[in-house]
Amino acid sequence: MKSVKMEKKSPRSRSKENCSCLIEDLLENAKTDDRLCEVSPNDIEVFIDPDPEKTSYNFYIRRMTDGLPIIPPTRDRVLKFMAYTDRNPDDLLAVLPPRQGKAIIEKIAINSVMAGCLPQFMPIVQHSIEALSIEKFNLTSVNATTHPVAVCTILNGPVSREIGASSGDGCLGPGNLANATIGRAVRLCLINIAGAVPGIGDHATMGSPAKYSYAFAESESESPWDSMHYEKGFDSLTSTTTVMAVEAPHNVNDHRSKHAEELLETISHTLSTPGSNNSHVPGEVLVIMSPEHARTISRDGLDKQDVKNYLHENSLVSVELGDRGGRKLDKKWIVDGNIRITRSPNDVVLVIAGGDGRHTMIAHGFGTSSESVTLPILFKDGTPVQSVHDFKE
C-alpha cells in the first residue's frame, strides 16, 4: 500500500523504463521474433485490479475497515470521485478527533471508494464529514463514548433523489446502495481519519449495528408537512445533509389509533425511556414517522409544530429512574417530579420516511452532549449543487 500524493486529474506519469525506441525501429528492425525491444525488461505491462479478498484482509488486520470486505481504493477509482467535487485532493475540510486526523478531500474519497459508494455520492459524503466536524456536534465525545451512539445521516432535497437515496420502503436498510454506502463511508472516515477504532478511539461498550451504516432520505413528497430542511431555513431546491448523533432506532407499532392524540400518546410512551441519555441529560430525539402515521395526525388538523409540542410535553421519565445515568441529574430539568426527555419542542427532530405501514421509528440522542448539524450541499463559491452533473460543466 502506498500513500501517493494525488494531483487532480493528472495524466498517468510515464514509466522510467521507457527505452526511447521509435515504433518504426521496433517493427522493422526487431532482432528477435518475440521481443519488441531488448532494452526494456518487459514488452507489455498489464495492470490489474488488486484482489479484493486480499486487500480487504490486509486493510482489516491494520484495523482500517468495519470488518466487512471493501472495494480496493485504487488511484483510478479515487480519481472518479474527484470528478464530483470542486475541491482539490489536498484541501483540508476539518481536523477530526480523537486522533486529530486531517480530513482532506482525497482521504474522504478513498474511504468512500472502500465503502462501495458510487462517485456521484461524493458531494454527500464530503458535506457530511464537514457537518460532523462542526463544534456543536461534539465529535470528540460521539467517537470516544462508551454509549452506543451512531451518526445518522439524513438527506433532503433534489440531490438525494437524483442519486437514488431511499426515503421509502425499508429506507433504514437493507437494500439501497446510496443509503448503505453513504452511511458506511461516514463510518470508515471516522475510523480512518478520526481514529474511531473500537477499543482505541471508540470506547463503545458494545457498539451498535447502527454504526455500520445509518443513512436515509426524507420522503418530502409523502409528507403532509414542511420538510426538515425547510424548517431549518433551506428551500426545496437546496439539498442538505443532516448529521445527528443517535442510538439505533426503536419501533413504534401503532395500527389501531385513528386519531392524532392516541397515536402521539403511543409514540411519547416509547420515547419515555429510562436509561437513555435523554432521561438524565435531555436533548434531541429523532422521530422518523411513516407517511401513514403522519397523515393520521395531519387529518386531525395538527401541524408539525403541534406534534413537536405534544412529544416534548408528554415524553418524560420519573426523577427516580432518570437519576441513574452517567451524569448527576441537574435539578433544572425536573418538572413536577419528572424529567422531560427533550429541552424544548425543537429538540424533536421529526422526519417523514418509510413505505406503507403504520410504524414510526424513534431514536434517542446523545443528551446534552451533541447537537445535530444540517449543511447545504454547495459548490465552494457558495451556490447550491442542484444536480451532481453540475460538477461536469
Minimum CB–partner distance for residue 80 and another protein (Å): 13
Nearer Cβ to another protein (290/369)? 369
Torsion of CA 80, 85, 88, 89, to 10 degrees: -50
21 to 50, contacts with another protein by CB under 8 A? 34-36, 41-50
Minimum CB–partner distance for residue 133 and another protein (Å): 12
Which among 159-167, 219-227, 326-334, 384-392 is the span making contact with another protein, rule CB under 8 A? 326-334
Residue 349 amino acid letter = V
58 to 117, contacts with another protein by CB under 8 A? 59, 64, 72-76, 78, 95-104, 106-107, 110-111, 114
Which strands form 240-246's sheet, in the order they lie side by side? Answer: 215-217, 150-156, 240-246, 373-376
Minimum CB–partner distance for residue 275 and another protein (Å): 14
> Which residue of 87, 127, 147, 364 would you call a contact of another protein, by CB under 8 A?
147
Q: How many residues bind another protein (CB under 8 A)?
A: 71
Nearer Cβ to another protein (90/306)? 90
CA-based nearest residue to 110, from 51, 59, 162 = 59
Pairing of strands 215-217, 285-289: unpaired
Nearer Cβ to another protein (231/323)? 323
Query: Rounded CA gap, 195 and 72, in Å?
Result: 20
Minimum CB–partner distance for residue 300 and another protein (Å): 39
The answer to whether residue 53 forms part of the interface with another protein (CB under 8 A) is: no
Which among 2-10, 233-241, 251-259, 346-354 is the span making contact with another protein, rule CB under 8 A? 2-10
Nearer Cβ to another protein (25/51)? 51
Nearer Cβ to another protein (88/141)? 141
Nearer Cβ to another protein (140/305)? 140
The answer to whether residue 364 forms part of the interface with another protein (CB under 8 A) is: no
* Phi, psi (rounded to 5 degrees) for 381: -85, 0
Minimum CB–partner distance for residue 230 and another protein (Å): 29
CA-based nearest residue to 25, from 40, 12, 4, 46 = 40
Query: Rounded CA gap, 252 and 292, in Å?
Result: 13
251 to 310, contacts with another protein by CB under 8 A? 281
Q: Which helix (H) or strand (E) holds 101?
A: strand 101-104
Cell digits of residue 35: 521481443
> What 3-state DSSP class applies to 199?
coil
Minimum CB–partner distance for residue 71 and another protein (Å): 10
157 to 216, contacts with another protein by CB under 8 A? 188, 192-195, 200-204
Minimum CB–partner distance for residue 101 and another protein (Å): 3
Query: Rounded CA gap, 379 and 346, in Å?
Result: 29
The answer to whether residue 367 forms part of the interface with another protein (CB under 8 A) is: yes
> What 3-state DSSP class applies to 340?
strand
Which strands form 316-318's sheet, in the order they lie side by side? Answer: 316-318, 338-340, 334-335
Minimum CB–partner distance for residue 160 and another protein (Å): 25
What is the gyration radius of the CA atoms in the chain, in angstroms? 25
Minimum CB–partner distance for residue 342 and another protein (Å): 17
Cell digits of residue 258: 385513528
The answer to whether residue 2 forms part of the interface with another protein (CB under 8 A) is: yes
218 to 247, contacts with another protein by CB under 8 A? none
264 and 307 Cβ atoms separated by less than 8 Å: yes
Residue 167 amino acid letter = S
Which among 249-257, 337-345, 360-368, 380-388 is the span making contact with another protein, rule CB under 8 A? 360-368
Minimum CB–partner distance for residue 222 and another protein (Å): 36
First and final C-alpha spacing in the chain: 34
Pairing of strands 250-253, 359-364: antiparallel
